[in-house]
Amino acid sequence: MDKKFASSLLLNLIQRIDLGQISGFTALERDALSFAQKALGEADLAAATSSPGPTPPEGPVAISATTTLPETPSASPPPLPKVALNVAAIERDKPGDPDVLLCLDFGTAMSKAFAFVQPMGYIDLALGRAAGGRGYPVPSSVFIGEDGKAYFGVEALAQSDGLAAGGRERLDSIKTWLSLGTSGDLDSEGRMLKQAQNPTVIRLTQGDAIRIYLAYLTDLATSCLGDNQGDPNRKTAGRYTLRRFARPCWPEQARADWADAQMKRLLSEAQVLADTFAGQWAGGIEVAKLKAAIEQVKQMGKRPDYLIDVGVPEPVAVAAGAVAASENFRDFYLVVDAGAGTTDFGFFFSGHPQGGPAKVFQVSSTIHGLMHHAGNRVDELLRDLIRRRHAIERSSPEAESIERGMREQSRAWKELLFRDGKLDYLLVTGDGGTVTLTDFLAEDSVQKFGKDLEGGLRKSLEALDDTYLQQLATDPVRLNVLVTGGSAPLPMVESLASGVIEIRGFKIMRQPLNAMPEWMAGKPREFVDAYLQLAVAIGGAADELPEAKVGPDQFVGTRGPAQYVVGRTQVSGV
């Protein structure tokens, strides 16, 4: 193996240990890995460059930095194996456990799930831990190996580690095929996965990839629902629980209608696939078997559509989970949900008329999303900075492998940069360097990104009638800003919650709201720390949601059409 390539793999391993993606290493073992990586990086590489060529590592993921993939086979693929579908979900006609409601948050980078149970209860679902990793979120990733198997979540990251230099691509951010890609048939010829993504002779579409990931997510969530974790007092539920799904605020209604219909169909088909491959995900599943099952599912005359409730816009879900109640007579909220693919905004207000339960109103004109302005965009800006520092020309022979390597690493690089204040990185060529957080935040492109986010918040407030703005500008009224999502800790996102903003001459003071629900007090630290990522799934499972077009166009107090009470998810006001 080439020493530069080995050094890059070791650095990647160390970074994954530091981010908690790999457990079981002691501090001394981590230091030993760091020592070995630095020694390789500082060694004389003359012998390596004069050798006949690098020797690929052994094992099921054997592919070196210089390995090239074969062209797409021209021969017809072999016949698919026979797979017996588990159709238990189709043999039913209504959900089980009517007191339980599940929400699946299929995220661009990480996916989450949560369930609420009547009366005033919850079921936390540690998907990451159940998948062999840590915590509650699970990576939204699929990797198809040279062994003909598809790997999911944490295993997808492990199996693809270091293979980008050899021309392989992991399926990351697959949700963007729905949220950012063009609408149309996800199973059409133009949606076939590339050879770098799928090296097998079995042809897979983007729709197939989404189906199998949603099947994996569905099986994880429903299995966690039925696991009491050794606690006889823990509420459990069956696999066929009614579920909602969270979705971004797509700017066009046509896009929302198309994506909602796609998600409802794909999620209902995913339940059949989840039942068929239940418990088989660890160690990967043969792509041929997955494709055989998918083709049968596509031809089914009936799907378990009864399981799928509605798609919930992400800021609406946050409002349901966090803007449910306050000790104040009236409160105003702006929700900012910053994920990996989109950042969504929405304005809400709540009140306690006659001392009764809180009523939450959504002003529908303020609900919108910024496409391409979230965590993935920050990854792109970091890659661009590194690319310019090394004068990497996109037309150069090694550019493609460098780009693949950076795409594979940039999400972890970003987390390390914002956590530690600096990033020591290594490219697949063996070249490396250091980026400080101060330098990164000073980049013109990063400054513009922050201004675009501020513009998104401003757009929501500008959609309000002057009667709202006048109320918000009245002392001591303040605008509570709830920032949630996996990208919430980024400084350019956090800054949206503070300071004075002027809209049409009205000066409005923003203040951050600690939106942690009261019932989370005293819960395990791991659960509490995951709240920002879980907020959408928690709110999406609430028994009542703020409905679109509930809030009046002009501010008239708590009076207005169709009031909705949000239960179970009370929070303390600021």
Q: Answer with the one of 284, 303, 322 that is the final residue of a domain.
A: 303
Residue 326 and residue 212 share a domain: no
Residue 456 and residue 330 share a domain: yes
| pLDDT number for residue 294 | 97
pLDDT, the chain, mean: 82
Give per-residue pLDDT as tens, 139-159. 999 999 999 999 999 999 999
Band of pLDDT at residue 304, cut at 50, 70 and 90:
very high
| pLDDT number for residue 167 | 79
| pLDDT number for residue 340 | 83
Q: Concatenate the DSSP letters of all residues of 185-238 into one string.
A: -TTSGGGBPPTTT--SSS--BHHHHHHHHHHHHHHHHHHHHT--TT-TTS----
Residue 498 and residue 359 share a domain: yes
Is residue 474 situated within a structural domain? yes
Least confident window among 177-186, 434-443, 544-553: 544-553
- Tell me: pLDDT of 548 over 90: no
Is residue 277 situated within a structural domain? yes
DSSP code for 569? -
Q: Which candidate, 144, 146, 124, 143, places its Cα nearest to that of 135? A: 124
Residue 149 and residue 39 share a domain: no
Residue 332 and residue 236 share a domain: no
| pLDDT number for residue 60 | 35
- For residues 328 and 164, the model is more confident at 164
- Tell me: pLDDT of 329 over 50: yes
Give per-residue pLDDT as tens, 103-116. 999 988 899 999 99
Is residue 436 situated within a structural domain? no
| pLDDT number for residue 147 | 95
Share of the chain above pLDDT 70, in %: 78
| pLDDT number for residue 69 | 42
Is residue 394 situated within a structural domain? no
pTM of the model: 0.75
Domain count, the chain: 3
Computed over its alpha carbons, how large is the radius of gyration of the chain? 25
143: three-class secondary structure by DSSP: strand
| pLDDT number for residue 1 | 53
- Tell me: pLDDT of 100 over 60: yes
Give per-residue pLDDT as tens, 340-367. 888 989 898 876 556 555 567 778 888 8
Residue 489 and residue 362 share a domain: yes
- CB neighbour list of residue 22: distance below 8 Å, 6 or more residues apart: 13, 16
Residue 202 and residue 110 share a domain: yes
Which uninterrupted H or E stretch holds 33?
helix 27-42
Least confident window among 121-125, 344-348, 385-389, 563-567: 563-567
286: three-class secondary structure by DSSP: strand
- Tell me: pLDDT of 64 over 60: no
**CATH code for the domain of 237:** 3.30.420
Question: Are 379 and 408 within 8 A, CB to CB?
Answer: no
Q: Answer with the one of 273, 303, 333 that is the final residue of a domain.
A: 303
- Tell me: pLDDT of 549 over 60: no
| pLDDT number for residue 447 | 96
Residue 140 and residue 13 share a domain: no
Asked if the peptide bond before residue 552 counts as cis, ω within 30 degrees of 0, the response is: no
Give per-residue pLDDT as tens, 5-31. 566 667 666 666 665 556 556 656 666
| pLDDT number for residue 5 | 56
Residue 346 and residue 260 share a domain: no
- Tell me: pLDDT of 54 over 60: no
| pLDDT number for residue 11 | 67
Residue 517 and residue 480 share a domain: yes
CA distance 375 to 106: 15
Mean pLDDT of 249-253: 71
- The boundaries of the domain holding residue 225 are 100-303
Give per-residue pLDDT as tens, 396-405. 767 888 888 8
| pLDDT number for residue 210 | 97
Residue written as tokens 């890609």?
181
Is residue 187 situated within a structural domain? yes
- Tell me: pLDDT of 452 over 90: yes
Residue 292 and residue 175 share a domain: yes
Band of pLDDT at residue 223, cut at 50, 70 and 90:
very high
Residue 319 and residue 283 share a domain: no
| pLDDT number for residue 517 | 75
Phi, psi of 402 (to 5 degrees): -65, -45
